Amino acid sequence: MPHRQVIAIDGPSGSGKSSTARAVARALGLSYLDTGAMYRAVAVAFLDAGVDPSDVEQVIAATTGADIDISLDPDDRWVRVNGRDVTDEIREPRVAQHVSAVSTVPECRADLVRRQRILMDRDPRGCVAEGRDVTTVIYPDAPVRILLTASPQARLERRGGELGGRVSGEQLRDQVLRRDADDSTLVDFTHAADGVHLLDTTHLSLDEVVLAVVALAKEIS
């Protein structure tokens, strides 16, 4: 498929990768994959099953056994795990608090990476995928690979705006800074790997970031 476009976008929490990836997919007519939503869905699955987050073997079993169905339409976002719609639930603080129990386990990451690569290859037009290891692990051969960064303060403000005051300052820091620290023990999403374009979004609007990514994608393709 010579004209197929694959765009991989990584970055820490609050760097703007989700909003950017959806808008780029919309602009280019591609599918969109939120890899982080899959980790959150698994967290819901093991919490539903009463699994202790510290029980690594049970978390692995919940991950590998989870039936995850996720929308690839940037304008119609939904996630189902084991037949249940968890679209809203995966954004709740209790899930954010425990998602690192999945994302920091190598066996869980390996299982989800395999599924994510399959999903990215599903649409013959191509896909825009965002997460923490898309550029380096899931799709290192993507023609367009971008790492978005932003200052810690900017990231906290953005995520706080997304959550609309539904969490405390402590919970917000836990979701953004603590989870980044946890995940960085397995994946480096703060430094651009060879061939990955670095884009600091601290002082850029969403429209400016989207334009920059679309321009890069058109230049490379």
Binding residues for ATP: 11-19
Q: Could you tell me which residues are annotated as the binding site? A: 11-19
For every residue of 140-176, DSSP letters joined together read: TT-SEEEEEE--HHHHHHHHHHHHTT-S-HHHHHIII
Residues ≥6 apart with Cβ < 8 Å to 9: 17, 20, 21, 24, 128, 129, 130, 131, 134, 135, 146, 147, 148, 213
Sheet holding 84-85, edge to edge: 68-70, 79-81, 84-85
Closest Cα partner for 217 from 125, 114, 146, 153? Answer: 146
- SS percent in the chain: helix, strand, coil, step 5: 50, 15, 35
